[in-house]
Structure 1
């Protein structure tokens, strides 16, 4: 999950990237990426619903 989190942020040193490539199973990375993307989308939807419901976005 840490490697996926680094990729979402876009910050990773070359040595860390090489270590991740050597150790990680691609299937696990894909599953972790899909889970992280789903959590990100759900959190954005909940945030938007909260903002709309609180009246902050209203006129």
Structure 2
């Protein structure tokens, strides 16, 4: 499997984690196919985007 494919699988796995739902078969597939470093990187970026999005949303609501 290529690094690009593994990175894409990591993005999908982190997205499912943020939602909080996942089938056991999907989880087992992720564990077998993705690199932990990719998951860590994607998770940090996703968390930062989430926090920045919340800050922007709060600023928009407070400004009105």
Common fold: TM-score over 0.5: yes
Once residues 30 and 53 of structure 1 are traced to their aligned partners in structure 2, the CA distance between those partners, rounded to angstroms, is 35
Higher helix share: 2
Q: Which has the greater radius of gyration?
A: 1
Runs (5+) with no aligned partner, structure 1: 55-59
Q: CA RMSD in A?
A: 0.4
Normalised to the residue count of structure 1, the TM-score between the two structures is: 0.90
The structure 2 residue matched to 1:10, chosen from 10, 17, 20, is 20
Between the two proteins, the alignment pairs up a number of residues equal to: 54
The structure 2 residue matched to 1:25, chosen from 35, 44, 61, is 35
Runs (5+) with no aligned partner, structure 2: 1-10
Normalised to the residue count of structure 2, the TM-score between the two structures is: 0.83
